A and B are shown apart, each in its own frame.
Chain A
Amino acid sequence: DQQVKQNSPSLSVQEGRISILNCDYTNSMFDYFLWYKKYPAEGPTFLISISSIKDKNEDGRFTVFLNKSAKHLSLHIVPSQPGDSAVYFCAASEGLAGGTSYGKLTFGQGTILTVHP
C-alpha cells in the first residue's frame, strides 16, 4: 500500500533549466508535505515544505506546488545546478490532524535527479 508515489525513478536536466519532480498521494488525511534531498551515504536533508492550507511555497530556487483535489504535489528547481544532482524524496504526514499518526513521515520511493553541466 504505497500512500506516497514518485512515479519517475529518474530525471535528467541541463544546467540552467527547470527541474520538475512530481509526487502523488492517496491518503486524504495528509496535511503536511515535505521534500528532502539525499546524497549517497548521507541522511536526507530537508528542502522545503507546504501545509495543506496553501497551494504554493517558495524558497529561493525551490518552489513546491500542492494540488489537493488531484492529490498531487511538485517541486520546481529553477535554475537547476549540477550540485542539485541527488535523490529527491517526497514525504507526507498528518501534521496536526492527530489521530494515531504522531507526525510520522510517509515517503515516496525517490527520484534521482541528474543535472548536466
Chain B
Amino acid sequence: NAGVMQNPRHLVRRRGQEARLRCSPVKGHSHVYWYRQLPEEGLKFMVYLQKENIIDESGMPKERFSAEFPKEGPSILRIQQVVRGDSAAYFCASSPFGPSYNEQFFGPGTRLTVL
C-alpha cells in the first residue's frame, strides 16, 4: 500500500498532555498538508509543509500547535497541553506538487480524544 499513512489511528490524551500525530506521505510526494475535522463540520486547513520547510501555517492555532516535515522521516503535528476542544479527526494529505491543478491524497486520519 503506497498511500498516505497516519499513526496512531486513535489517540486518547488527558487535558494538559502532549499529542504527537505522524504522517508518512505517498512515496515521492514532498508536499504535505494537515487538516482538522471537528464533529459535524468539514475539513479545515491547518498547515502546508515541504521537506524541512513550513510554507503556510495560516490555519494553525497560534499557541500549542506546531508541525514539522524533516528531511528524513514522517511529518509530525504536535499539540502541547491538549484541551477538550482539540478533540477532532486530524487528516494529512500529500501531493506530488504544491500549488497546482492536482488532487491531494488523504490518509485515514488520527482521531484524537481529549478526556
A residues lining the B interface (CB < 8 Å): 4, 6, 32, 34, 36, 41-46, 49, 51, 89, 91, 93-96, 98, 100-110
- Residue on A nearest B58 in the bound complex, by CB: A100
Number of contacting residues on B, CB 8 A? 33
Residue pair A110, B42 in contact (C-beta under 8 Å): yes
Residue pair A46, B33 in contact (C-beta under 8 Å): no
* Residues from chain B with Cβ under 8 Å of A110 in the complex: 42
Residue pair A104, B59 in contact (C-beta under 8 Å): yes
What's the minimum C-beta distance from B1 to chain A, rounded to whole angstroms? Answer: 13
Interchain CB contact (< 8 A) of B56 among A4, A100, A108: A100
User: Which residues of B from 96 to 115 have beta carbons under 8 Å from A?
Assistant: 97-109, 111
What's the minimum C-beta distance from A100 to chain B, rounded to whole angstroms? Answer: 7
User: Which residues of B from 4 to 27 have beta carbons under 8 Å from A?
Assistant: 4, 6
Given that A42-B109, A43-B106 are contacting pairs, would A101 and B99 also be in contact in the complex, using a CB cutoff of 8 Å?
yes
* Residues from chain B with Cβ under 8 Å of A36 in the complex: 106
What's the minimum C-beta distance from A79 to chain B, rounded to whole angstroms? Answer: 24
What's the minimum C-beta distance from B27 to chain A, rounded to whole angstroms? Answer: 17
Residue pair A42, B108 in contact (C-beta under 8 Å): yes
Residue pair B33, A105 in contact (C-beta under 8 Å): yes
